[in-house]
Amino acid sequence: MLRAPTVVDGKGDASFCNMYRAWDDLPDDLRERLDGMNAEHSGEAIRRRNNAADTDGAKDIDVRPPEVHPVVRRHPETGRRALYTNCFFTTRLGDMSEHDSAPVLADLEKRATMPDNVYRHRWQAGDVLIWDNRCTMHFADYDYDENEPRRMHRTTAAGERPMA
């Protein structure tokens, strides 16, 4: 959940992809290839992003060791299947190398982020958004200056480990 007490008009939008639909819309042969496959996810990209010169992220963070999750997760409440990959956290697919996984992950992300599968939220002061990370992928535009007023309050609920 994000609450936006203070935002800059027209900047810092958030986009959300429906990962149920991303999975459902994959060609049958690709779904068959990915079904039952695991993927490695790493938080190392956050450390790299936060240490970049153009970010306000915390510089000194602990990154946990990589985790392995199913490429397709089943939502514990709806039972629906959702694609569970992204180019930021997912480092490799199955027993493939990172190098060989990269084009497949890029293709999956391209498919998931097709315009008709993305909701783009244009923040206004006072907005509150709630979404389910188990079946969405999200991205925030960092297109505002660090001197521009922006305050966001985030609450994250604990959840279960992804299951196939």
pLDDT digits (tens, 9 = 90+) for 117-142: 999 999 999 999 999 999 999 998 88
Residues 1 and 14: their CA atoms lie apart, in Å, by: 12
Confidence of residue 158 (pLDDT cuts 50, 70, 90): confident
Q: What is the pLDDT of residue 144?
A: 85
> According to CATH, what is the number of the domain 2-154?
3.60.130.10
Q: How many helices (H) and strands (E) does the chain have?
A: 4, 11
pTM score of the predicted model = 0.86
The residue extents of the domains of the chain are: 2-154
Residue with structure tokens 């990959």? 85
Residues 142 and 53: their CA atoms lie apart, in Å, by: 13
Residue 34 pLDDT more than 90?
yes
For the record, the structure tokens of 39 come out as: 């993927």
Residue 43 pLDDT more than 90?
no
